[in-house]
Amino acid sequence: MPEICRFYGIVIFMYQNDHEPGHFHARYAGRTAVFSVGPVEMIRGSIAARAERLVIEWATTHERDLQINWRLARDLKELNKIAPLE
């Protein structure tokens, strides 16, 4: 899995050549959820409510970086690491 960020036990990843709409995956405590790139919201799966809030905060802060990575993923190019939530 192409990991692009990790913070507070949450792993964020994006698959190359994945289906539209633009999205990323978040894994926490053995559960996985899918979030849209813009607007940022959980669209599938479930993770703990606190983890969901942290992912949304992180993704909102890095929405432009996520959009860039989505385009790179669609073009089968290497993804950029994104700074963690601090």
Per-domain residue ranges for the chain? 3-74
Q: Which two tokens stand for residue 58?
A: 């992180």
* Dist. CA 45–CA 53, nearest whole Å: 14
Q: Which two tokens stand for residue 69?
A: 């990575």
Q: What is the pTM of this model?
A: 0.93
Which residue, among 38, 10, 9, has the nearest Cα to 23 in the 3D structure?
38
CB atoms within 10 A of CB 77: 11
* 3-state SS assignment for residue 49: helix
Angle at which helix 63-74 crosses helix 49-61, to 10 degrees, equals 80
pLDDT at 34 over 70: yes
pLDDT tens sequence across 37-71: 989 999 999 999 999 999 999 999 999 999 999 99
Cα(31)–Cα(46) distance, integer angstroms: 7
Query: Is the model's pLDDT at 17 over the cut of 90?
Result: no
Percent of the chain predicted with pLDDT > 90: 88
Q: How far is CA 66 from CA 29, 30, 58, in A?
A: 23, 23, 10
